[in-house]
Amino acid sequence: MGKESPCRARIGGREVEGRVQLETDDLIFRGPLRLVIPLRDISSAEANGGELRIVYGPGDVAVFDIGRQAAETWAGAIRNPRGLLDKLGVKPSMAISVLGSFDREFIDDVSGRTGPVSVGRGRKDADMVFLGIERPSDLVKLEALRDSIADDGAMWAVYRKGRRGHPHRAEVRHPGGRPAVALPRIGPITG
């Protein structure tokens, strides 16, 4: 999600100034005290008069004064988080190719949203390609796939972060020290 705002917060009977961040898995407050609330532990997120009121854990409450619009937006995002396919931009009726090693669950999720998915082979004029990258040498496949993607299509180079022998983000974005092929999007799906 990556939303951030300066705020006045009421946490554990204290009123403090700091910054609050809404990330994919956590709500984080940094200031004179630090608080990390896993989103899965939040039982209630309400906006009222510019304040975001969070109930978490066994009845703990934190209130963040972040402004009316932000409080409403954040409360909605906490109550209804976007799923992985939404974040990746997968839409119904897209032509999708999945190449490389992927969990069956991911392929089934994509198929459930878009219909049949080309698995293991590139599809001509694909709207989106997911390419599993296991080692830096797999990056040469990016160039070969460029012509199979629709002009306004996208490619996701999927690799495991921080594992020995797996490519690093810089290698995916700039294979061989050169900028990656001209694709709308290249990014990791961490796991």
Statement to judge: residues 130 and 156 lie in one domain: yes
Residue 56 CA, chain-centre distance (Å), reads: 23
Say which residue, 167 or 58, is predicted with more confidence.
58
- Asked whether residue 161 is domain-assigned, the answer is yes
Residues 27 and 105 grouped into a single domain: no
Task: Decide if 188 is inside a domain.
Answer: no
Q: Are residues 89 and 61 in the same domain?
A: no
Q: Mean of the pLDDT values across residues 63-76?
A: 96
Confirm whether 189 is domain-assigned.
no
CB 11 within 8 A of CB 31: no
Looking at every residue in the chain, the average pLDDT score rounds to 83
Q: According to the model, what pLDDT value does residue 135 have? A: 78
Looking at residue 177, what is its pLDDT? 44
Answer whether residue 186 is part of any domain.
no
For 137, other C-beta atoms within 10 Å of its C-beta total: 10
CA-to-CA distance for 158 and 100, rounded, in angstroms? Answer: 9
Q: What is the mean pLDDT of residues 66-91?
A: 92
Instruction: Beginning with the edge strand found earlier in the chain, give each strand of the sheet holding 126-132 in spatial order.
Output: 118-119, 96-99, 126-132, 149-158
140 and 108 in one domain?
yes
Q: Are residues 147 and 173 in the same domain?
A: yes
Domain end position, chosen among 52, 81, 110: 81
In this structure, what DSSP letter does residue 92 have? T
How far is it, in rounded angstroms, from Cα 3 to Cα 26? Answer: 11
Tell me the pLDDT band of 178, cut-offs 50, 70 and 90: very low
pLDDT value for 133: 85
The domain of 97 spans: 85-177
For 91-149, write each residue's pLDDT tens digit.
998 999 999 889 899 999 999 999 889 998 888 889 999 988 887 777 777 777 877 88
From 22, 56, 81, the end of a domain falls on 81
Q: Is the pTM of this model over 0.75?
A: no
190 in any annotated domain? no
- Residue-wise pLDDT for 4-57, tens only, equals 999 999 998 999 999 999 998 899 999 999 999 999 999 999 999 999 999 999
Last residue of a domain, one of 54, 81, 108: 81
Q: Tell me, what's the pLDDT at 16?
A: 97
